[in-house]
Structure 1
Amino acid sequence: MFRIIGVFLLFLGSVFGLEPSYQLKLENNIIDVNYVENRLLVGTDFGEVIEVKFEKEFENITKKVVLKLPDISNFFGDFYPPKVFSVDFLEGRLLVNSEGSEGAKNLFVFKEQLEKLPIALNIKKAAFVDKDKIFLGLMSNEILLYDLKDSKILYQKQLSEATFSDFTLSEDKKYFLVSCESGILYYGKTLNGEILKEFSGLNKDNVYEAKMGFQGSDIVIIAAGQDRKVGVYFGNRMQDYTKEADFLVYSVGLSLDGKIGAYMKNEMSDIAVFEINGGKEMAILKGHKNLLNSIIFIDDKNIVSAEDGKNILFWKLP
């Protein structure tokens, strides 16, 4: 009998208490992490964009600084490195949204030279749509599409009076999903700003971020709530539901096929991995020491997570 119990507990430990397969420690604090074109791009609080590359199964992990932004100044004339708020990459070019002098924001495109874009707006996040257009989310909860070639705004749209939190684009860049302070999620078309659907009701407070995937043609959304709830929305096929966390949910992740989700489970920043269809937990990932800011599915078996500190953790699911 005791042997059976021991084997059962060992089984639970192997499924629900996974440790990272690798931990990468940076020299400065992490602000943003993006996975694009088989690389991680990390923005830090020291004006850096760091490229992290790895082979299949997280082998041969390497890092290098690909951009160091010039120092900025505060109202007292003191100079210091800017925070990098968001990073994107397309066709050899970096798009970098960073802190500017005296409380402003700077938006840069970098390939061989650093080009500052003439946009004087309070930008929270920026992403490439294609080589000529970028999608921006503003602190005022406005979205806009900007033409790089002609240096003009193609559209600018106010979503609500609530404070902006985050956005994500679909893999093909055709659709956006915006999260904000109201708990409402806005799903729409990137090229014209048309809102196709509002998702609401699961989170009653600020949604820090949301991710989307697709099960066939049906959209799946996972939302990180300040109300300690993870919201899971389906376009049409299944009933929406929530999962309770033990702390504010600062970060969530979703596999591209929309079948596996992950979220920050507690104040120790343990990560719960679960089946989207039904909500069954698959694993608990333990290893972070600071609050999470990113959970990224490389595929349905490999996850990368980063914290408001210096550590990036790499996980292999069983």
Structure 2
Amino acid sequence: MLKIIFLFLWFLGSAFAVNPFYQLSLKNNIIDMNYIDNRLFVATDFGEVVEINFDSKFQNISQKTLIELPHISNFFGDSYPPKVFSVDFFDQRFLIDSEGSDGKKNLFIFEEKLEKLPLVLNVKKAAFVDKDRIFLGLMSNEIVLYDLKDKKVIYQKQLSEATFSDFILSKDRTKFLVSCESGILYYGEVLSGEVLEELSGINKDNVYEAKMASTSNGLVVITAGQDRKAGVYLKNSQSYAKEAEFLVYSVGLSASGEFGAYMKNEMSDIVIFKISSKEEVAILQGHNSLLNSIIFVDDKRIISAEDEKNILFWKLP
């Protein structure tokens, strides 16, 4: 009898497995995914920006190619579609960071037509700050604020000697959070480039990406670590780590800051947990390749993508 009671209590405290509500397969491999103003944009390895459309119930899911970049060439003169590393959307314009010819990078603005920006920088990721300025993360772990109107660099600052991994901007695009090879995160002001705080102590190796949310209790940050840890930094309480069974390539954070997500193992299962209590509430199972994106549409709806062609849609009870 005691054994039955113990198993029942253990089951109540355990995360339950969730299968995908829907799986969408694209024509080409996915590199990045960005959810902006209730619109989902996907960057592929075939020079495309694809929009994924869906309703509030994850019904009527469809895909549409919005942009196709011109082919590039390698050192041998071979022509091929470029990889699109990141895509952002603001004020009806797209900002696209892509592979360029002969190992270089290209930055494009797309509104009614494609405009190549006159920048010769090794850009890993780009985002709009407002209609006239963009924020860039360079492979050298430098951050750049660039004026589109005057076509000039406002600032270019080195954060550290470690290799750059990723950045994310706050919802209002006024703050940045940069992750890098050292495991240290840099949180700062976008317009000045000033670092307000360094977050460290959880990850001892490369942080592939980080997500942040502003809540009534302060800033919440979650990290994806090469050292098999998903780190959680909390402004007004104790930070902690969630241990994984494999390299944590991707993490997610709900806009409310209530729920976090991280890649648990080599099968790319995704653990959903409560940030405040650390309680694991669900394990999302269904991916076949390594994750590159986890996006919370809200606290109950999640979208994730892998390095191949599949995008999975999830619903929590």
Paired residues for 1:289-300 under 5 Å: 289-300=288-299
Query: Conserved in 1, the CA contact under 8 Å of 2:14 and 2:280?
Result: no
Report Cα offsets for 1:86-129 as digits up to 9, x if no partner: 00001111100000000000000001110000010000000011
Paired residues for 1:214-229 under 5 Å: 214-216=214-216, 218-229=218-229
Q: Normalising by structure 2, what TM-score?
A: 0.96
Paired residues for 1:189-208 under 5 Å: 189-208=189-208
Query: Conserved in 2, the CA contact under 8 Å of 1:214 and 1:258?
Result: yes
Amino acid at match of 1:228: R
Q: Kindly indicate whether residue 244 of structure 2 is the aligned counterpart of residue 248 of structure 1.
A: no
CA distance in 1 between counterparts of 2:281 and 2:129 reads 34
Q: Kindly indicate whether residue 191 of structure 2 is the aligned counterpart of residue 183 of structure 1.
A: no
Given the superposition, is the C-alpha separation of residues 21 and 13 from structure 1 closer, same or farther in structure 2, using an over 3 Å criterion?
Answer: farther
Query: Conserved in 2, the CA contact under 8 Å of 1:259 and 1:277?
Result: yes
Unaligned runs of at least 5 residues, structure 1 = none
Q: Identity of paired residues, percent? A: 70
Report Cα offsets for 1:183-234 as digits up to 9, x if no partner: 0000000111111100000000000000001221500100000000111101
Map of 1:315 onto structure 2:
314
Residue 57 of structure 1: how far off its partner (Å): 2.0
Amino acid at match of 1:258: G
Q: Kindly indicate whether residue 275 of structure 2 is the aligned counterpart of residue 276 of structure 1.
A: yes
Amino acid at match of 2:262: Y
Residue 12 of structure 1: how far off its partner (Å): 6.4
Amino acid at match of 1:177: L
Map of 2:93 onto structure 1:
93
Paired residues for 1:69-88 under 5 Å: 69-88=69-88
Report Cα offsets for 1:10-63 as digits up to 9, x if no partner: x76995110011111001000010001211110100000000111102121111
Q: Kindly indicate whether residue 91 of structure 2 is the aligned counterpart of residue 112 of structure 1.
A: no
Map of 2:300 onto structure 1:
301
Point out 4+ residue stretches in structure 1 off by more than 3 angstroms. Answer: 11-15
SS of residue matched to 2:61: strand
Paired residues for 1:6-45 under 5 Å: 8=8, 16-45=16-45
Unaligned runs of at least 5 residues, structure 2 = none
CA distance in 1 between counterparts of 2:14 and 2:232 reads 26
CA RMSD of aligned residues (A): 2.0
CA distance in 2 between counterparts of 1:215 and 1:262 reads 17
Report Cα offsets for 1:133-156 as digits up to 9, x if no partner: 110000000001111111111111
